[in-house]
């Protein structure tokens, strides 16, 4: 108990439950004291403690040590001194400040590119080291968006540490060593058995929470562990051998493993749930700089060892991980899932299968598990088509994008090893917004999964269908920059496929993936077209510019691939981008077809609090494949919250996760990522 109390103190956790206490009051993670606190009265002695968070501290790029430096430099001290209104920056002790965020801003509206920092000020340490700062701290006032007071430092813990503290304080509450009211010991309660289907981010985090809290977890993955998966992807890239169950989409880590490994999200980078996930990535071997970087990414080379460490931890918890195991069906009795039917994914469909019994099934499949969608449809699981986006992947020489974005600073990039980050871009254009009479014309066009210093890769799971994505390694050292360039599509676009019901969006995807495969001529050759030709609706006879795609490109009329209204939106957007980024339309820019799997084409209905399917008890659809996430971070957070919600239903967890990690963001009954 003393150990748990000590850990709680270090992590700013509440003390563990004592005998006779109410475990329902136990929480984990950060205390809420640091949130929304008013600053002590100006000039009061209370100001001699606590922390101030200073945001939007700008340092000109020419003065900063560079993107890989996360310490406190003299130019940053000058920016801090300006915020504190302290006259001599050199007198400020570096030890009193810690960098919590560092971003690079090269927008054209600025006089020059700059690094932008968020810094926490430890008041006690500052006053101990430099007492002359007291008058300035005494007069400091909160200012929305730039200056915030915190009575305690905001320290997020990784998920494993948080759960360990919880378990140390509530071993008797986990249902493993139960006692009856008269104090006599009864036999241990049987551990609930949970299947987690899919080892992408949501499945891994759900397994981690449930495994740590005492469930008997079986993690079922149709693909291979990352080591063998890497070899299978190599066979595809070199010998054109597509393994239908081990590829860029299927296998340990999910589709995000062989991608850019972006850790950006729209659910709030500073939320405690996101921070817990980020700290967990670092705990399993991710580089610490992802906690500070304004646009963090891992890259495939960092994701592979991270996933290996994650797997080893799950095994130490007793999680049974079954690779090469495909879930072919659910066992349903009386409207409730009782188990799954599985088979060896290395064998042909129809091979001998096995029935496994479980108390709950967490469905964490990715957005390409189309056979799973069909299986759910047979069980009348409530799901419906949702909007997503389709388009092409555009590629430029990275040096061209550097020149467009950075001008003279482009020389500082040095293939990811220089002071300045490899240049990227983000584009959003809207058309027909607010037209109530013609809602089908309301459409957005945007860049997606932009991979600076990356390459175009094949993400097909069927040789008769062709779809692509982008990936990069941690240094982003490739000579190419690529990005999906896509337009939103919705139920209006799926009308020709409405006979497929909730799978209409899936069939819509397949239609254009098959067209792309035909245009490419087979053998995984990708249809491609110069941007200038795409805008002119012509097929040039000249040779295509070089492409990073390793299986070959073929000159094609991509302007004839999609319906005219989608093509025109893509064309108009490119013309508008050229006005903002002169040089974007270039004879060196190449479009590749086709990008269709930007997100799940459907959403599986679930209860917003319990995460359970609204139509099938015992089934818990989560993550990107279920339509509740849009990337590594949001999928991880979704899996984490589901893990706690299910653990609570199974009487394995008695705390209140939302009181410390915040509520999952919900919109009209669904989580919005």
Which is it for strands 602-604 and 383-385: parallel, antiparallel or unpaired? Answer: antiparallel
Per-residue exposure over 620-637, b if at least 16 CB sit within 10 Å of its own CB, e if not? bbbbbbbbbbbbbbbbbb
pLDDT at 31 exceeding the cut of 80? no
Q: How far apart are CA 653 and CA 314, in angstroms?
A: 18
Nearest to 388 by CA among 512, 250, 263, 277: 512
Tell me the average pLDDT across 229-252: 96
Instruction: Please give the C-alpha separations between residue 238 and each of 235, 241, 254, 549, in angstroms, as whole numbers.
Output: 5, 8, 21, 11
pLDDT in tens, 535-582: 999 997 778 999 999 999 999 999 999 999 999 999 999 999 999 999
How far does CA 379 lie from the centroid of its chain?
30
Nearest to 227 by CA among 316, 158, 283, 303: 303
CATH 3.40.1000 matches 47-150: no
Is residue 6 very low, low, confident or very high in pLDDT (cuts 50, 70, 90)?
A: very low
The pLDDT score that the predictor gives to residue 437 is: 54
- Domain spans in the chain, listed from the N-terminal domain onward: 47-150, 193-384+602-660, 388-433+440-595
pLDDT at 497 exceeding the cut of 90? yes
The pLDDT score that the predictor gives to residue 404 is: 96
The pLDDT score that the predictor gives to residue 189 is: 65
pLDDT in tens, 178-214: 433 333 333 456 899 999 999 999 999 999 999 999 9
Q: Mean pLDDT, the chain, as a whole number?
A: 89
Q: How far apart are CA 566 and CA 147, in angstroms?
A: 45
Nearest to 443 by CA among 332, 569, 573, 260: 569
* Range with the poorest average pLDDT among 30-44, 243-257, 390-404: 30-44
Tell me the average pLDDT across 61-81: 97
The pLDDT score that the predictor gives to residue 434 is: 56
Q: Are 68 and 311 in contact (CB under 8 A)?
A: no
Is residue 121 very low, low, confident or very high in pLDDT (cuts 50, 70, 90)?
A: very high
Instruction: Report the residue count for the chain.
Output: 673
Tokens of 30: 């950060």
CATH 3.50.50.60 matches 193-384+602-660: yes
pLDDT at 4 exceeding the cut of 80? no
Nearest to 405 by CA among 137, 107, 136: 107
pLDDT in tens, 280-302: 999 999 999 999 999 999 999 99
Q: Are 29 and 145 in contact (CB under 8 A)?
A: no
Bridge partners (DSSP) listed for residue 105: 114
Q: How far apart are CA 301 and CA 309, in angstroms?
A: 14
Tokens of 428: 């959003």
Tell me the average pLDDT across 233-243: 95
Instruction: Please give the C-alpha separations between residue 425 and each of 75, 256, 415, 448, in angstroms, as whole numbers.
Output: 27, 20, 17, 10
Instruction: Provide DSSP, 506-561.
Output: HHHHHHHHHHHHHHHTSTTPEEEEEHHHHHHT----SPPPP-S-TT-EEE--GGGT
Tell me the average pLDDT across 303-330: 97
Nearest to 382 by CA among 331, 342, 335: 335
Instruction: Please give the C-alpha separations between residue 413 and each of 72, 214, 301, 603, in angstroms, as whole numbers.
Output: 22, 48, 20, 41
Residues 6+ apart with CB under 8 A from 229: 223, 246, 247, 251, 252, 253, 257
pLDDT at 439 exceeding the cut of 80? no
Helix (H) or strand (E) segment spanning residue 270: none
Is residue 12 very low, low, confident or very high in pLDDT (cuts 50, 70, 90)?
A: very low
The pLDDT score that the predictor gives to residue 433 is: 64
pLDDT at 620 exceeding the cut of 90? yes
Residues 6+ apart with CB under 8 A from 437: none
Nearest to 297 by CA among 506, 417, 474, 436: 474
Is residue 271 very low, low, confident or very high in pLDDT (cuts 50, 70, 90)?
A: confident
Tell me the average pLDDT across 256-272: 87
Q: Is 581 left (phi over 0), alpha (psi -120 to 50) or beta?
A: beta
Share of the chain above pLDDT 90, in %: 79
Instruction: Provide DSSP, 414-454.
Output: TTTTSSSPPP----EEEESTT-SS-GGG-EEEEEEEEETTE
The pLDDT score that the predictor gives to residue 666 is: 55
The pLDDT score that the predictor gives to residue 406 is: 94
The alpha carbon dihedral of 553, 557, 560, 564 has a sign of positive
pLDDT in tens, 340-357: 999 999 887 777 899 999
- Residue 271's CB: how many other CB atoms inside 10 A? 18
pLDDT at 364 exceeding the cut of 90? yes
3-state DSSP assignment of residue 190: coil
pLDDT at 595 exceeding the cut of 50? yes
Same topology between domain 47-150 and domain 193-384+602-660: no
Q: Does 594 sit behind a cis peptide bond, omega within 30 degrees of 0 on the bond before it?
A: yes
């Amino acid at each position: 108990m003393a150990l748990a109390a000590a850990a709680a103190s270090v992590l700013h956790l509440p003390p563990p439950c004592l005998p006779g206490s109410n475990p329902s009051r136990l929480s984990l993670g950060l205390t809420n004291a640091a949130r929304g606190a008013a600053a002590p009265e100006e000039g009061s002695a209370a100001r001699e403690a606590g922390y101030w968070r200073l945001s939007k501290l700008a340092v000109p790029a020419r003065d900063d040590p560079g993107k890989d430096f996360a310490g406190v430099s003299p130019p940053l001290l000058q920016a801090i001194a300006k915020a504190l209104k302290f006259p001599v920056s050199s007198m400020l002790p570096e030890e009193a400040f810690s960098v919590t965020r560092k971003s690079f801003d090269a927008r054209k509206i600025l006089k020059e590119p700059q690094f932008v920092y968020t810094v926490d000020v430890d008041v006690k340490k500052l006053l101990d080291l430099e007492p002359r700062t007291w008058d300035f701290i005494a007069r400091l006032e909160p200012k929305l968006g730039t200056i915030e007071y915190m009575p305690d430092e905001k320290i997020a813990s990784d998920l494993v540490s948080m759960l360990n503290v919880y378990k140390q304080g509530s071993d008797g509450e986990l249902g493993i060593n139960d006692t009856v009211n008269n104090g006599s010991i009864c036999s241990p309660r049987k551990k609930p058995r949970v299947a987690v289907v899919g080892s992408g981010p949501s499945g891994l985090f759900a397994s981690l929470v449930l495994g740590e809290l005492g469930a008997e977890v079986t993690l079922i993955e149709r693909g291979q562990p990352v080591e063998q998966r890497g070899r299978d992807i190599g066979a595809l890239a070199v010998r054109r051998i597509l393994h239908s169950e081990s590829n860029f989409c299927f296998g340990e880590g999910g589709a995000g493993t062989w991608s850019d490994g972006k850790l950006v999200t729209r659910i709030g980078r500073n939320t405690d749930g996101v921070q817990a996930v980020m700290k967990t990535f670092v705990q399993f071997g991710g580089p610490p700089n992802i906690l500070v970087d304004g646009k963090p990414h891992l890259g495939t080379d960092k994701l592979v060892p991270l996933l290996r460490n994650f797997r080893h931890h799950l095994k130490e918890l007793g999680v049974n991980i079954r690779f090469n195991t495909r879930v072919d069906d659910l066992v349903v009795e009386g409207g409730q899932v009782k188990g799954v039917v599985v088979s060896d994914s290395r064998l042909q469909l129809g091979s001998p299968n096995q029935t496994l019994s479980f108390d709950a099934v967490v469905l964490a499949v990715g957005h390409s598990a189309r056979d799973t969608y069909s299986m759910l449809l047979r069980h009348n699981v409530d799901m419906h088509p949702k909007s997503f986006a389709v388009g092409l992947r555009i590629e430029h020489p990275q040096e061209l994008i550097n020149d467009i974005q950075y001008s003279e600073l482009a020389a500082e990039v040095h293939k990811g090893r220089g002071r300045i980050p490899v240049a990227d871009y983000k584009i959003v254009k809207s058309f027909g917004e607010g037209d109530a009479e013609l809602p089908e014309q309301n459409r957005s066009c945007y860049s997606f999964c932009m991979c600076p210093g990356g390459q175009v890769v094949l993400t097909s799971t069927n040789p008769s269908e062709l779809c692509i994505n982008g990936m990069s390694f941690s240094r982003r050292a490739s000579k190419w920059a690529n990005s999906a360039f896509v337009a939103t599509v919705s139920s209006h676009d799926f009308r020709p496929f409405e006979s497929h019901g909730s799978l209409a969006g899936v069939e819509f995807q397949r239609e254009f993936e098959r067209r792309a495969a035909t245009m490419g001529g087979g053998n995984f050759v990708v249809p491609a077209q110069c941007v200038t030709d795409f805008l002119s609706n012509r097929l040039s006879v000249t040779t295509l510019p070089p492409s990073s795609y390793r299986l070959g490109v073929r000159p094609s009329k991509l302007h004839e691939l999609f319906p005219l209204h989608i093509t025109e939106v893509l064309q108009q957007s490119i013309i508008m981008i050229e006005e903002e980024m002169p040089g974007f339309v270039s004879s060196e820019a190449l479009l590749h077809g086709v990008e269709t799997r930007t997100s799940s084409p459907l959403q599986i209905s679930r209860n917003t609090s319990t995460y359970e399917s609204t139509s099938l008890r015992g089934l818990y659809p989560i993550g990107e494949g279920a339509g509740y996430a849009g990337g590594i971070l949001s999928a991880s957070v979704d899996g984490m919250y589901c893990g706690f919600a299910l653990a609570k239903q199974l009487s394995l967890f008695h705390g209140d996760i939302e009181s410390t990690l915040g509520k999952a963001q919900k919109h009209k009954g669904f989580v919005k990522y």
